[in-house]
Amino acid sequence: MPAQVTDARSNANDQIDHAVKVIGRSRDRLAVFEAIYHGKGRKTPEAIAARANLPRKRVLEEAVKLAKQHIIVQETDPKRGILYGVDSFYDANKAKIVRLVKDPKKLAHLPTKTRPHTTTQTARFDIPTRQMRAKMITIDDIDSFAAVRKATLNSTAPLPEAQFKSGIASILGEQGRFTDWGGERNDLYTTTVQLNGRRVAAAFAFKGPATTGVLTPKKMGKNGDQIQRLFQSPASIFVVQYWGQIDQSVVEQMEKLAQLKSYMGSGVEVWFGIIDAADSARLVAAYGDNFQVERVAQ
C-alpha cells in the first residue's frame, strides 16, 4: 500500500494549490496525473502510457517530476519494476485539482495561508460642506501683489528659482533666510501676506527652469509628494509657482488638500492658487526692482 505523502491535518487549500502549480500548464504532466489517479491500485509506466496516450519515456519524465514534489508515490517492485501510486489526499481532491489546472483564474480565488481572502467593506461618510471653506485665488486677489493688477504682460525670460523666491520674499517684506533641502515642507513660509485687508500665513512651492514640460504632481518632489508636504505647513494660503504650464491635476490635488485642511481645522478658511508662466512674468513686470531685474516701462 503506498505511503501517504501529504498531511491531511495541514491546510488543505495549500496542498491543492501546490499540486496545481506543480502540474502547471503541461498537458503531458496533467495526462500522467489523471492516468495515475484513474481507478485503484499501483500502475506501471506502460499502463499509464496507454491511458495517457503518451510514449513510455514521456511518462517516466513527467512522473519523476510529480514524485519529487510528492504529488504521487513512486515504488519499485521486485517483479513488476517501477510502480506509481496515489496519495490519499490528492486522490480525494483530484477532480478539484484538474479543474483548477484547466482554469488558472479560479486558482487565484482559492484562499491559502500565503494568499488569504478578506472581505473589504467601503465606508462612506459625508463631510458637511459648511466645514470645508476652501477657495481658489489668483495673484490678483492678494493685496500684497496689488501692483500686478495694472501690470502689462511682457515677454520675460524665466528667472532662476532662487532669484524668483528672493523677489517674492522682498515684495512681502520677508527678511528671513530660506535654504532648500530635500525634506522641506515649503520653499517660502511667511506670515506677512496681506489678503482681504489682513495678514495671513502663506506657504509657497517654487519650481524653477530646471523642471521642464507641463507641471504635474509627479514632477513635484523626489517622491511626487511636494504638494502634500506643502499643505503640512501651518498656513492658510498655499501657492505653487512654475515658469510654464501647470496641469489641472496640480490644482485638483491642491483643492482636495485645502478642503481636508479646512475640515480638519473645523471650518477654518483655506486659500490655494497657482502662479504659472504668465503670472510669473506679470509679477516680474510689476516688481522688477524686487526681482533685481530692469523694470519694463508700462
Residue 187 is assigned to a structural domain of this protein: yes
Residue 1 is assigned to a structural domain of this protein: no
In percent, the amount of the chain with pLDDT more than 90 equals: 69
Mark whether 33 and 158 lie in a shared domain: no
Mark whether 281 and 154 lie in a shared domain: yes
Mark whether 268 and 156 lie in a shared domain: yes
Mark whether 133 and 249 lie in a shared domain: yes
Looking at the chain, list the stretches that DSSP marks H as alpha helix, in order from N- to C-terminal side. Answer: 12-23, 27-36, 45-52, 56-68, 88-92, 94-102, 104-107, 161-171, 226-230, 248-264, 277-286
| 102-150 pLDDT per residue, tens | 998 888 888 877 666 655 555 565 656 667 899 999 999 999 999 999 9
Q: φ and ψ at 78, to 5 degrees?
A: -55, -35
Mark whether 69 and 161 lie in a shared domain: no
Q: Residue 130 in contact with residue 255, Cβ under 8 Å?
A: no
Domain end (from 54, 76, 107)? 107
Q: Cα–Cα distances in Å, from 256 out to 3, 251, 259, 266, 284? A: 64, 9, 5, 16, 30
pTM: 0.56
Residue 200 is assigned to a structural domain of this protein: yes
Mark whether 138 and 278 lie in a shared domain: yes
Q: What is the mean pLDDT of residues 40-63?
A: 94
Mark whether 36 and 152 lie in a shared domain: no
Mark whether 256 and 141 lie in a shared domain: yes
Mark whether 97 and 145 lie in a shared domain: no
| 175-232 pLDDT per residue, tens | 766 555 555 789 999 999 999 999 999 999 999 888 899 999 999 988 889 999 999 9
Concatenating the DSSP letter of every residue in 59-96 gives HHHHHHHHHHTTSSEEEEETTTEEEEE--HHHHHTHHH
Mark whether 70 and 167 lie in a shared domain: no
How many CA atoms within 13 Å lie on the side-chain side of 251? 13
Predicted pLDDT of residue 179: 59
Mark whether 214 and 247 lie in a shared domain: yes
Q: The domain that contains 75 carries what CATH number?
A: 1.10.10.10
Residue 246 is assigned to a structural domain of this protein: yes
User: Residue 50 sits in which domain range?
Assistant: 12-107
Residue 227 is assigned to a structural domain of this protein: yes
Residue 7: is its pLDDT beyond 60?
A: no
Residue 6 is assigned to a structural domain of this protein: no
* Average pLDDT, rounded, for the chain: 87
3-state DSSP assignment of residue 100: helix
Residue 115 is assigned to a structural domain of this protein: no
Q: How many domains does the chain have?
A: 2
Residue 155 is assigned to a structural domain of this protein: yes
Mark whether 101 and 214 lie in a shared domain: no
